[in-house]
Amino acid sequence: MTSPLDDRLSTVFAADRALRIAELEFLDDSGPAHLAALARALDAALALEDAEESGIRCIRIADLLGEFQGPEVVTALLRLLDNDEPTVREAAGSTLLDLGYSRWAEVARGVEKLIDDGKALTALKEVPFVLGEIGEPGGVKLCVRLLKHADSGVVASAVESLAMLGDPAVLRDLEKLRNDKRIVESDDDADAPEGGGSPTVGDLVNDVIEHLRSIKG
C-alpha cells in the first residue's frame, strides 16, 4: 500500500524522466536551427511578466546552451548573467565557466564586447568571478580593464577576481586605486574595514595588494 507521499515522489520521478527525454529529443541532430530556437525562447522568457516562470525558463535555457558552441552561445549566457534573479545568474555562470574551460577564446571575445559596451552592470559584476575561476592569463587583462569602470561594484568584483588570479603584475594598476573612497555595497561582514562601516574600493584594493605582494615575495 502506497501513501500519498509515495505517489507524489513517483510523479517527481516521472517528470524527471520526461524532462530528460524531451531534452534528448530537442538536442537530436542539433545545429543552427536549435540555437535560433533557444534565442527566441530567451527573448520570450525575458519578456514574461511572471518572474518565477521567467526564471524557470531562463535556467533551463542556460543549461541547454551548454550543449552548443559559438559566439551566439556566449552572448546569450552573458545576457542571462545580467538577470536580476540569482539562480538564473548561477546557472548562466556555471555554463559559461564550463565553456570557458574548453573554449576560452570564444568566452574572452564575448566578455571583451561586454566590457566595450559597459552597460550591463549586473553581468559586469558577475563576469570577473567567472574569469577568476577559469584562471586563464587573459582573464587578468580583462579584469584590469574593468578597474577603470565607473561603477564601484564592477571595480570591486574585478579587484576580488585579480586576487583569485594571483598575478603580481597587476600591482601597478591596483596602486592607482589605493585611495579610492567609493563605497562598495556588501552583504559579507568579512569585507568590512576594521573600524566598521561599509568597505571602500580602496579598502579592498589594499587587502589585495597585500595578498599579491605576499605571493610575489
Classified as helix, coil or strand, 200 is strand
Q: How many CB atoms lie within 10 A of CB 180?
A: 19
Count Cβ atoms within 10 A of the Cβ of residue 34 and give its class: 0-12 exposed, 13-18 middle, 19 or more buried: middle
For residue 22, give its domain range. Answer: 16-216
Under-70 pLDDT residues of the chain: 186-196, 216-217
pLDDT at 215: 83
The reply to whether 125 falls in a domain is: yes
The reply to whether 143 falls in a domain is: yes
The reply to whether 94 falls in a domain is: yes
- Name the residue type at position 5: L
Residue 31, phi-psi category: left (phi > 0), alpha (psi -120 to 50), beta (remainder): beta
CATH number of the domain residue 186 falls in = 1.25.10.10
pTM, two decimals, is 0.90
The reply to whether 210 falls in a domain is: yes
Per this entry, what is the length of the chain? 217
pLDDT at 50: 97
pLDDT at 187: 58
The reply to whether 206 falls in a domain is: yes
Number of domains in the chain: 1
Q: In the structure grid, which three cell numbers stand for residue 101, read together?
A: 574551460
